[in-house]
Amino acid sequence: MNIILLITNHCNACARAREQLKDIQSNNPEINADIRHINSFEDKRIFITPAWIVNGELFAYGDIDRDKLISKTKLRKNAVH
């Protein structure tokens, strides 16, 4: 499972999302996470931060429901096997 978190500077929601992603990843080592500044992201149609990209697809903007994200990662993992 790959998660990209797009952030900007001076963004309180981005700071919360960064901490949330670190916590999620520490409890789910199978998740590969990357935090990028939105200006370095290739898809210029995304312009709201934080933006959560899961396996190449936009999952959510802003604060997320952690359980839904974990559920999505578990469903994808089970679908592969």
* Cis-peptide, bond into residue 50, ω within 30° of zero: yes
* Segment 32-44, tens digit of pLDDT: 999 999 999 888 8
Prediction pTM value: 0.84
16-71: per-residue pLDDT in tens?
999 999 998 998 888 899 999 999 988 888 989 999 999 999 999 998 888 888 88
Domains of the chain in start order, with CATH, are 2-80 (3.40.30.10)
Confidence of residue 75 (pLDDT cuts 50, 70, 90): low
Alpha carbons 66 and 42: distance in angstroms, whole number: 26
- What is the token pair recorded at 63? 């604060």
Q: CA-CA distance, 69 to 63, in Å (whole number)?
A: 11
